[in-house]
Amino acid sequence: MKNKKICPKCGGNEIYFVGGDSGAYGAGNNIPLSSVGRAWNNIPVDRYVCGNCGYSEEWIDHKYLTQLKNSKIAHKR
């Protein structure tokens, strides 16, 4: 969906991008890395939404992956 611009559920090609953000006190679509709620400790989560059926995917930008892996809240399965 992110790369092919096609919805995996309905095959639609009307894909909308909603960028994640990390506002004050954890506002916005993000993963909070600390309970303090400091904006710079949140990892923004981008969304791709199908304009046809409403299905959505969430992605974290590559530049935040190391930070996420090194955090206390991420556990490798």
Question: In the set 10, 18, 24, 68, which binds Zn ion (CB under 5 A)?
Answer: 10
Three-state SS at 41: helix
Instruction: Give the residue with the Cβ less far from Zn ion, 7 or 31.
Output: 7
Query: Which residues, in sequence order, are CB contacts of 69 under 8 Å at separation 6+?
Result: 76
Question: In the set 18, 27, 53, 65, which binds Zn ion (CB under 5 A)?
Answer: 53
> CB of 53: closest distance to Zn ion in angstroms?
3
Instruction: Give the residue with the Cβ less far from Zn ion, 10 or 24.
Output: 10
In the block, which residue shows the tokens 């904006």? 39
Question: In the set 12, 28, 32, 44, which binds Zn ion (CB under 5 A)?
Answer: 12
Structure tokens at 14: 């009307």
Query: Which residues, in sequence order, are CB contacts of 13 under 8 Å at separation 6+?
Result: 5, 6, 7
> CB of 57: closest distance to Zn ion in angstroms?
10
